[in-house]
Structure 1
Amino acid sequence: MLREDSFREQQTRDTVRRSPDGQVEMRWESLRGTGHHTPAERFFVRSHSGVPRIDPRTWSLRLHGDGLRAGPVEFGLEDLRGLPAHSMTAFIECAGNGRSLYTIQQNQRVEGTPWGLGAIGVAHWTGVPLAVVLERAGIRPDAVDLLPRGLDRPYVRDGVDHGSVRRPLPVTKAMKDVLVAYEMNGHPLRPEHGFPARLVVPDWVGVASTKWIGDIEVSTEPLHSPWSTDFYRLFGLGHPAEGSAPLTTVPVQSAFELSAGAQIPLGCEYLLTGRSWSGSGAIRSVEVSTDGGGHWLPARMVGPRLPHTWAQWELPWRPERRGPAELMARATDETGVTQSLGAPYNTKGYLFGAVVRHPVKVV
């Protein structure tokens, strides 16, 4: 059986794709054989106004608002490190991951960065549960919403200054499983990944996981920002004029650890590998087709199947006919949801969850 070493000459030496506006997308073929976590240097980067440089010696996280019992509270980085540490393995995924596939597979025009499927990464995060920080700050029992704000530069679009990235987060989610993270894969966060501290909001669209976090408003009333009203909602045919509710969980998705257009030798057994994930729970099973959806075979699951992260899988394939072939993978999560063959359209190209048609060539 041919494994990854036999195909190194086909794999690009680059592990990411960099766009002119500073966004960084992971190359899926670079994950083959790397283990469960995404190396920090391959983890995707999405920023609205560039990466700020922050002095950790003077940085602090300020909590304020009428949802606190006794006024504003500040935590320096050492204060956070002095609180009980907690770790979790979780993916962070841009809401626009797979956006280009609306055009490639469904012939639909959409707005925004034309991501492939590489605007996702899984890391081992270490920090303090946001619930602990809120309790130390004296959160009131009638608080309903938080508004975490990043220290990035104001985002200006079409002449409108929207301010720094900030997006409401319900207290119920914050108290459940959100982390104020200061380490990624056992090392301090890199600047592009939110140094000195960021939120990690498991299973939700990436914009909820605020990077370079500087303050959190705690409120007894619902809060709003452009990132929950103008952006990160579904717009277009079939949606209200004001858009859908703000986006939260991501759909079920799957990807092959193989470059598009890769060449596979005829008659040799090649091990197809990939990963699947869902914002609604652990992956239960994965099926793979090597003939464009004509026939499906169950993939063998590799390693644990846990919530908040992806599941790895593999399937041996011995192609018997030269020429183009179309690989497909579809996953089912523990709630019983299976990837569909098409993604509901929205003008901003969010939440692409359809089965991806992955072209290769048998030679």
Structure 2
Amino acid sequence: MTIVSRRTLLRGSLAAGLAGPALFAAESARAAGPIVKPLPPELFNVFGTNAETRWESLRGTGYHTPIDRFFVRNHTSTPLIDHRTWRLDVHGSGVRRPLRLSYADLRALPAREVSAFIECTGNGRSFFTSQQGQTVSGTAWKLGAVGVARWRGVPLSRVLGLAGVKREAVDVMPVGLDAEWVDGSVNRGHVRRPLPIAKALDDVLLAYEMNGEPLPPDHGFPVRVVVPSWIGIASIKWVGSIEVSSEPLSSPWDTNYYRLFGPSYPAEGSAPLTEQVVKSAFELPFPATVGAGPQQLTGRSWSGGGRIRRVEVTTDGTTWRRATPHGAAGRDGWLRWSVPWRPEPGTYQLRARAVDEHGHTQPEQTEFNRLGYLFDAVVRHPVTVV
């Protein structure tokens, strides 16, 4: 694997017929920084290595989140990897035949396309503090650390099949090629997190395209893992190796992090987190200022536990109205919705809550955990009408 300059990456991509808007963005981005693509303030709130989508920028954009406004979650900086020298190594005690695939090898395999959301586990973290008065650590996301894309790639199960998965295999651990992450004074190594073999053989994708284009650098070029409906850390970007083991595997990302820690949990924390929770968001600035008179409130709801079946909205804190769905609810995506509103001048707190097909809903309060994961409570969205 070779880390290359932005100019070299583009030149090689053009030669291979892979160039597209997502790759050209790399050349026009800032010369230095942890994120490659432009981050205009009307599209993003930036938190160092991370960039949160502004929900108002999604209004009218359709079901899939445009690449130019898809959120970015990095531990370090986005690496620029030459797809011509990139290799994927599949190895470990759980396979019969260690495997090495090139980018061309992977793209030659039968492909599959899925529409799925990827969401940071800490999405909504800031509301532990602003709504519940609790101190948590981590990036103070509102609700913009989520996006739905159309991912195309090779089912992980097919690649594991080529390597000959043994019956006794229990865990599969993809490892990213971004720089090793240092937390304080502790080097945690490359980002990695094990998947149970049953999940790895189910619906996990090794994706090389996003919304019909080659993956942009910030979103995992040349290849990333996509684990539908699970917490975002499971969807390792810039994957370079996959260990398949006949013994349980672990990493800091399922022991030190991505468990629930706090007074309601054992000292070692909860079990490692898997599925995402139910959330809803308005396509409005936070806070928002709007004009008086008739208008349509729009938003989206999603769940890691199943399709959204119902969304309700209140503008007065008392009366809940059923929102009108727009399009079908995706199994691993979201439901777009709207509700009419005719406000008078004043201040309001809008709220939306959703229920998925298995009855999971949004509570009034999320149980506290110190790392601020899985905030699923109904968010109070402040709006001033003038």
Structure-2-length-normalised TM-score = 0.89
1:105 is matched with 131
1:57 aligns with 2:84: yes
Aligned-pair distance for 1:13? 6.7
2:300 is matched with 275
Q: Is the 8 A contact 2:127 2:142 kept in 1?
A: yes
1:68 is matched with 95
Which of 300, 319, 323 is the aligned partner of 2:346?
Answer: 323
User: Which residue identity lines up with residue 91 of structure 1 in the other structure?
Assistant: F
**Any stretches of 5+ residues in structure 1 without a counterpart?**
1-11
1:350 aligns with 2:376: no
User: Which residue identity lines up with residue 42 of structure 2 in the other structure?
Assistant: D
1:249 aligns with 2:275: yes
User: Which residue identity lines up with residue 17 of structure 1 in the other structure?
Assistant: N
1:80 aligns with 2:103: no
What do the CA deviations read for 1:220-274 (whole angstroms, capped 9, x no partner)? 11101110100111001101101111110111000000112322322x1110000
2:329 is matched with 305
What do the CA deviations read for 1:60-98 (whole angstroms, capped 9, x no partner)? 11000010113x211111111100010000000000000
1:140 aligns with 2:166: yes
What do the CA deviations read for 1:293-325 (whole angstroms, capped 9, x no partner)? 311000001101121001000000011x32101
Within a 5 Å distance, the mapping from 1:147-186 to structure 2 comes to 147-186=173-212
Which of 42, 45, 48 is the aligned partner of 2:72?
Answer: 45
2:319 is matched with 295
CA separation in 1, counterparts of 2:273 and 2:361?
Answer: 20
2:240 is matched with 214
CA separation in 2, counterparts of 1:230 and 1:305?
Answer: 34
Moved over 4 A (4+): none
1:361 aligns with 2:357: no
Q: Is the 8 A contact 2:301 2:308 kept in 1?
A: yes
Q: CA RMSD in A?
A: 1.0
Structure-1-length-normalised TM-score = 0.94
User: Secondary structure at the residue paired with 2:161?
Assistant: helix
Quickly say closer, same or farther: Cα 1:285–1:235, change in 2 above 3 A.
same
User: Which residue identity lines up with residue 170 of structure 2 in the other structure?
Assistant: V
User: Which residue identity lines up with residue 294 of structure 2 in the other structure?
Assistant: E
**Any stretches of 5+ residues in structure 2 without a counterpart?**
1-39
2:364 is matched with 341
User: Secondary structure at the residue paired with 1:172?
Assistant: helix
User: Which residue identity lines up with residue 347 of structure 2 in the other structure?
Assistant: P
User: Secondary structure at the residue paired with 2:372?
Assistant: coil
User: Which residue identity lines up with residue 53 of structure 1 in the other structure?
Assistant: L
Aligned-pair distance for 1:121? 0.5
- The aligned length equals 347
CA separation in 1, counterparts of 2:234 and 2:352?
Answer: 28
User: Secondary structure at the residue paired with 1:326?
Assistant: strand
1:14 is matched with 42
Q: Is the 8 A contact 2:49 2:75 kept in 1?
A: no
Quickly say closer, same or farther: Cα 1:349–1:307, change in 2 above 3 A.
same
